[in-house]
Amino acid sequence: MKSTDVKTPDSGRPMVKAEGVHKSFGHIEVLKGIDLEVAPREVFCLVGPSGSGKSTFLRCINHLEKINAGRLYVDGELVGYRQKGDKLYELRDREVALKRRDIGMVFQRFNLFPHMTALENVMEAPIQVKRESKAVARERAVRLLDRVGLSDRAGNYPAQLSGGQQQRVAIARALAMEPKLMLFDEPTSALDPELVGEVLDVMRGLAEDGMTMIVVTHEMGFAREVGDSLVFMDGGVVVESGHPRDVLTNPQQDRTKAFLSKVL
Q: What is the pLDDT of residues 105-140, one digit of tens each?
A: 999 988 899 999 999 999 999 999 999 999 999 999
Write the CB contacts of 89 (distance below 8 Å, at least 6 apart in sequence). 81, 82, 83
Supply the pTM of this predicted model: 0.93
Point out which residues pair with 106 in neighbouring strands: 184
| pLDDT over 70 at 9, yes or no | no
Point out which residues pair with 83 in neighbouring strands: 88
| pLDDT over 50 at 1, yes or no | no
**Dist CA 53 CA 73 (whole Å):** 18
pLDDT of residue 87: 85
Give the pLDDT confidence of 181-227 residue by residue, as tens digits: 999 999 999 999 999 999 999 999 999 999 999 999 999 999 999 99
Q: Which residue has the higher pLDDT, 233 or 96?
A: 233
Confidence band, pLDDT 50/70/90 cuts, at residue 63: very high
| pLDDT over 90 at 85, yes or no | no
Confidence band, pLDDT 50/70/90 cuts, at residue 11: low
Q: By C-alpha distance, which of 16, 1, 2 is closest to 63? A: 16
Q: Where are the alpha helices (DSSP H) in 112-243?
A: 118-128, 134-147, 163-175, 193-208, 220-226
pLDDT of residue 213: 98
Kindly list the distances between the CA atom of residue 184 and the CA atoms of 68, 85, 105, 151, 157, in Å, as whole numbers in the listed order. Answer: 23, 34, 6, 23, 23
pLDDT of residue 2: 38
